[in-house]
Structure 1
């Protein structure tokens, strides 16, 4: 099985955070790239990790001191 749910959109922003809605089938690195392009800091250390966004909560991906559980 492979999720084909796509899309990325900003749901809410404030001075301290950004809430985004991302489809489970979006490639993880595409989300990181989109976040960097939009000046949303926090997951840029997780670049180049293979897989889709939908797997990130299960895998709790992490690199260079950043873990997905801290930004979910």
Structure 2
């Protein structure tokens, strides 16, 4: 896991906690943008994770370029 992924996941968790606090103190209308930002960060984290997995899969499935022996 890269530093950027850790930051995205931690920030989204912190925003969920902040949104919960805002919901208890000010209502749903006040906390809605905070929750939406947390959801966007979670989607971004998932996108980066899937992109990394696809890159690793493509590197593994790519055939190696070894010269063929002609006898």
TM bucket, shorter chain: under 0.3
Higher relative contact order (CA 8 A, sep 6+): 2
TM-score for the superposition, normalised by structure 1:
0.27
Comparing both structures, which one devotes a greater share of its residues to helix? 2
Larger radius of gyration: 2
